[in-house]
Structure 1
Amino acid sequence: MSHSVAVFRPNDDRIEAAADLLESLGVEAVSDPMLAVEATGAVPRSDAEYVVFTSTTGVELAAEAGWSPGDQELVAIGPKTADTASDAGFAVDIVPEEYTSAGLVEAMTDHVDGARVEVARSDHGSQVLLDGLERAGAYQHETILYQLVRPPAAGISVERAVGGDLDAALFTSSLTVEHFVEAAEEQGVAAELTPAMVDVTVGCIGPPTRETAEAAGFDVDVVPDDATFDALARAVVDRLE
């Protein structure tokens, strides 16, 4: 019998791609979208010298709204976001070595003293990025392109975990952890979830997500070197074998 691995990507082509990857790695994908995107209709400001995108979703929504960077410097949090920007016809100038808010700050610190920096992202972005840019001397501004909410039907993975029928869980953001716990609370099994997760291999995409998972009482087994879903999935599957 193959191992069962819960995946919490947004309920669009990302959950489908994630499930396909897991199946190709020889495990059962337990698709349980913990995020849904609600666009605000906003676009990045045009008066900034740098525009920072922290997700592929942000790039897609900006492009769909007819926005383009003009002569602004474009910053993408990682290669997937950069590829999406390139597909939209946007030239990307900076991609950090570490695909996190802290990595963005490190990559931009030497460039943004006195500059106007626009951060275009979801309503659940890390304060680390804004604080770091401010310390670097930037005039930072945040535009909320979309809100991330928990789909009403989310929670099948909670049932599987509490029932002892889940081998691993792949958390791709702090919000997926929080929504996972909220689903357990709604189901009335919050007390049973933490001890049940002892038997589940927990993978987190990066240090911030790991901190959130540990704060929720989960032992984190895997954090990949690269903060990508592909690296996370492969590292967790390797751990299960």
Structure 2
Amino acid sequence: MSRPRVAVFRPDDGRVDDAADLLDSLGAEPVPDPMLTIEPTGETPPDADFVVLTSATGVDVLAAAGWDPGDAVLCCIGASTAEAAEEAGWTVDRVPEQYDSEGMVRELRGDVAGKTVALARSDRASATMPEGLREAGADVTETTLYRLERPADAGESASLAARGELDGVAFTSSSTVEGFLTAAEERGVREAAVVGLEDAVVGAIAESPAETARDAGIAVDVVPETADFEALARAVVERAKRRA
């Protein structure tokens, strides 16, 4: 049996190489196609009662800058973000059951009235969390820790999908879905790439990127119970092998 060809879109800061190695170990032929590069802004969040971090990338950027949460209640979206924060030597106080902005709002809305909340995220973060926390009575500040850019040479996966030569994809954020579609558009194969994914196993790490994909007409086959890349990769590869 040939190895299923699976595309992965993690940032080109080492994580895409780790992801490719994982796919290889699972018996897949990895197609590393980074859709994002990380550009730190040099900014750090102000002192606040609560600090919310949304990604392991944000943790890495802050740790490299020498930032520390101090006495703030440190809140992390997702197990991987919390794990990265703990590895940085910080104590994680709150992790929502649902690993997205809505889940964090539900986690904190009963505790933040009259409190200051610092959100530290990328430049592509949605308005869901600040709006929800302000409605709960919090004084919210937003800090852009890093900007996300798409590499100029991104899009090999889109070309493969358009030719029907891709067996699976593993989307790890809405930005990677959008990057895939933009790269396909620039190569003149957007419609063909979306059609080509009909015969591939499409995985999304959480409901947010899954919804972005569905809105673009891409059917999503896999969303793991936990927002974890290894769980996503295993599910996509196993289903792709069964389909083959």
Taking structure 1 as the reference length, the TM-score comes to: 0.96
Q: Paired residue for 2:57? A: 57
Match of 1:143 in 2: 143
State the Cα deviation string for residues 149-169 of structure 1 (Å, max 9, x = none): 101111110111111110011
Tell me what 1:223 maps to: 223
Partner in structure 1 of residue 35 of structure 2: 34
Aligned to 2:187: 187
CA contact (8 A) 2:158 2:190 kept: no
Is 1:10 matched up with 2:4?
no
Q: Does the aligned pair in 2 maintain the 1:5–1:27 contact within 8 Å?
A: yes
Q: Which amino acid aligns with 1:85?
A: A
Is the 2:102–2:128 Cα contact (8 Å) retained in structure 1? yes
- Alpha-carbon distance in 2 for matches of 1:38, 1:97: 29
- Contact kept? 1:59, 1:85, Cα under 8 Å: yes
Residue pair 1:77, 1:99 contacting (<8 A) in 2 also: yes
Q: Is the 8 A contact 1:52 1:118 kept in 2?
A: yes
Letter in 2 for 1:19: A
Displacement, 1:191?
2.7
Aligned to 1:233: 233
Note if 1:108 corresponds to 2:79.
no
Counterpart CA distance in 2 for 1:86 and 1:222 is 29
- Tell me which amino acid in the other structure corresponds to 2:80: K
Aligned to 1:45: 46
Look up the match of 2:209: 209
1:98–1:227 Cα contact (<8 Å) kept: no
Aligned mates of 1:87, 1:234 — CA distance in 2? 24
**Does the 8 A contact of 1:98 with 1:226 survive in 2?**
no
Q: Could you tell me which amino acid in structure 2 is paired with residue 133 of structure 1?
A: L
Which deviates further from its counterpart, 87-96 or 177-186? 87-96
**Deviation by residue 1:76-107 (Cα, 9 ceiling, x = unmatched):** 11221112112222111111122111221121
- Return the alpha-carbon distance in structure 2 between the equivalents of residues 191 and 213 of structure 1: 13
1:206-229 CA distances to partner (integer Å, 9 max, x unpaired)? Answer: 111111101111111111111111
Q: How far is 1:128 from its partner? A: 1.6
Shift of 1:130: 1.4
Distance 2:167 2:87 in 1: 36
Answer whether contact 1:51 1:118 (CA < 8 A) is retained: yes
Tell me if the contact between 1:10 and 1:33 (Cα under 8 Å) persists in the aligned partners. Answer: yes
User: What one-letter code is carried by the residue in structure 2 that aligns with 1:7?
Assistant: V
Residue of structure 2 in register with 1:93 after alignment: 93
Extract structure 1 runs of 4+ deviating beyond 2 A: none
Deviates more, 1:142-151 or 1:122-131: 122-131
CA distance in 2, matches of 1:193, 1:29: 18
Kindly state the Cα deviation for residue 110 of structure 1 after the two structures are TM-superposed: 2.1
2:125 counterpart SS class: coil
Query: Structure 1: where are the runs of 5+ without partners?
Result: none
Aligned match of 1:197: 197
- 1:12 deviates by 1.7
State the superposition RMSD in angstroms: 1.2
Query: How far off is 1:53 after superposition?
Result: 0.5
Compute the displacement of 1:132 (Å): 1.7
Secondary structure of 1:29's aligned partner: strand
* Contact persistence 2:13–2:38 (CA under 8 A): no
CA distance in 2, matches of 1:235, 1:42: 37
Structure 2 gap ranges (5+): none
